[in-house]
Amino acid sequence: MHKVCQSRIGDYAVLVQTIIDPLPTARSAETSRPRVVVVGGGLGGLAAAVDLAGAGLAVTLVERHPWLGGKARAVTVPDGRGGVVSVDAGPTVLTLRGVLDSLFRDAGATLDERLALRPAQVLARHAWTDGARLDLHADPARTRAEIVEVFGEAEARGFDRHLAACRAIYEEVRDDFIFAPRPTLLGLARTHGLGDLGRVARIDVHRTVWRAVGAHFQDPRLRQLFARYATYTGGSPFQTPATLNLVSHVEQLGVWTVAGGMAALVGALADLAGQRGVELRTSSPARALRVEGGRVRGVELEAGELLPADAVVANMDAGAIGKGLLGPQAQAAVGPVPVARRSLSALTFAMTATTAGFPLAYHNVFFGDDYQGEFQQIRQGRLPLDPTVYACAQDRVEGTHPPAAAERLFLIVNAPARGDQAPLPDVEVDRCTHATMARLSRCGLQLSSGAGRAAACRACTWRGAAPTRGRACRW
């Protein structure tokens, strides 16, 4: 059995694919090609299916939901005018687009022909209670100039050092880890020798993100801003190794928005998979692997059907496999993920609202006053009292006119992943909802109140999307 981790879609999508003993026995009757079943129709499962079909295998993808996309999904909310609109309620931008380019190219297609991607010039707009604001630009010289203006030259020099450090980490781990087909720490050590202490230091594995960022910036607001990248992979800046500062550099390589939202990306991948001959089966939850004589024979669906397979790619949450949700044999390949070691969950809000008081960009971050306290509360299993709020203003794609009326917003607040242990009480979710709106307001953004918004605002802590991660979806 092999566990395969592969970064396939952007820096966020570290896919855990578990391939259990490929066996040349369960050939597809029509073609005698080896059969592979991919479990999970998220971005990772779709990408794996496209790749495997391109390699000549007979691929069936099973997805338990009636829709494809997994976390990359859109929800419909009232538009405040009697209709509904679709809001991306998962990923909102792409990074490392080269990964997708090569996936499409290898499948005989072109990404640009299938999807309209637009590079963002403003990566994110940041705001604090004291009225300070800072944009991160695709062009670091522009970011530097803004840092000089808002925080002074010394902090701008810290920015120079920080960017160089993030780039160095990225380059150090790019080939052996980020783009390696089977990245493991052991693999890293094997390539470079266990005794390469210089390398260990270069990838900054011994410090936390927070400490490393603190070595470059004095101002607590800039520390918040650059440490926040730890949360992109579900980590707390106060626990995550500083190696993850490479995410900051990944954004410098480019951030793209997708015309039509992430649903368009899911659709393009599904089309590509279909064209490569992948059988896409939605509403088909997998119950267990069928393993005989130590070899995988297929995947049993909840409905009782057995899909014969020579190999299985389980592109669902590794924690779900570790919990036995793909049967005991698969469980043995992964092992449990203790609650304390889970990555962060999220409380999210998809809504339409009329906005005032703050010039929203596409990506915006409104920082809480007590960053350390925020992550301590999450660690203790509570929703934060004064959350940092990420807001994606989905109608504010650069080069388009700002919306005249109600606009689509998607808000994310970091949350503990404990929904499967003890669901978050409504009163706590309500309190955090108020704190979220208060945070926006304290940073200058007023959202329209009234029936339209209240009806459209939905809180979700993600259990529905990923039940074993302790997420509790309220939809």
Ligand X SMILES: Cc1cc2nc3c(=O)[nH]c(=O)nc-3n(C[C@H](O)[C@H](O)[C@H](O)COP(=O)(O)OP(=O)(O)OC[C@H]3O[C@@H](n4cnc5c(N)ncnc54)[C@H](O)[C@@H]3O)c2cc1C
306-308 vs 94-95, strand pairing mode: unpaired
Q: Which of 346, 350, 393, 415 binds ligand X (CB under 6 A)?
A: 346
| 347 strand-pairing partners | 413
Q: Are 233 and 240 in contact (CB under 8 A)?
A: yes
Site for ligand X in 378-437 (CB under 6 A): 412
For ligand X, the binding residue among 209, 225, 316, 360 (CB under 6 A) is: 316
Tell which residue, 444, 400, 417, has the closest CA to residue 257: 400
For residue 46, the minimal CB distance to ligand X (Å) is 7
d(CA 68, CA 260): 16
Residue 93, interface with ligand X (CB under 6 A)? yes
Question: Using CB under 6 A, which of the segments 56-64, 133-141, 245-253, 396-404 binds ligand X?
Answer: 56-64
41 forms part of the interface with ligand X (CB under 6 A) = yes
* Residue from the set 60, 92, 224, 240 that interacts with ligand X by CB under 6 A: 92
Contact string (CB under 6 A) for ligand X, positions 432-471, x = contact: ----------------------------------x-----
Binding letters toward ligand X, positions 59-78, x by CB under 6 A: ---xxxx----xxx------
Residue 354 · residue 447 · CB < 8 Å: yes
CA distance linking residue 240 with residue 205, whole number of Å: 9
Residue 214 binds to ligand X (criterion: CB under 6 A) = no
The interface region with ligand X, picked from 11-19, 123-131, 189-197, 273-281 by CB under 6 A, is 11-19
Cβ(123)–Cβ(251) under 8 Å? yes
Q: Decide whether 216 or 463 has the Cβ nearer to ligand X.
A: 463
CA distance 113 to 109: 8
Is 158 among the residues that bind ligand X (CB under 6 A)? no
Q: Which is nearer to ligand X, 94 or 365 (CB)?
A: 94
Q: Which of 98, 285, 328, 450 binds ligand X (CB under 6 A)?
A: 285
The set of residues, in sequence order, having a beta carbon less than 8 Å from that of 191 and lying 6+ positions away, is: 176
Q: Which of residues 315 and 377 has its CB atom nearest to ligand X in the complex? A: 315
228-239: burial string, b at 16+ Cβ within 10 Å, e else: bbbbbebbbbbe
Give the E-state strand segments of 96-173 in sequence order: 117-119, 122-127, 133-137
Considering beta carbons, is residue 94 or 459 the nearer one to ligand X? 94
CA 307 to chain CA centroid, nearest Å? 30
Interatomic CA distance for residues 426 and 105, integer angstroms = 47
| Helix spans in 276-410 (H) | 318-322, 327-334, 371-379
Q: Is 39 in the site for ligand X (CB under 6 A)?
A: yes
Which chain residues interact with ligand X by CB under 6 A? 10, 12-13, 15, 39-45, 62-65, 70-72, 90-94, 285-286, 315-316, 320, 325, 346, 348, 412, 466
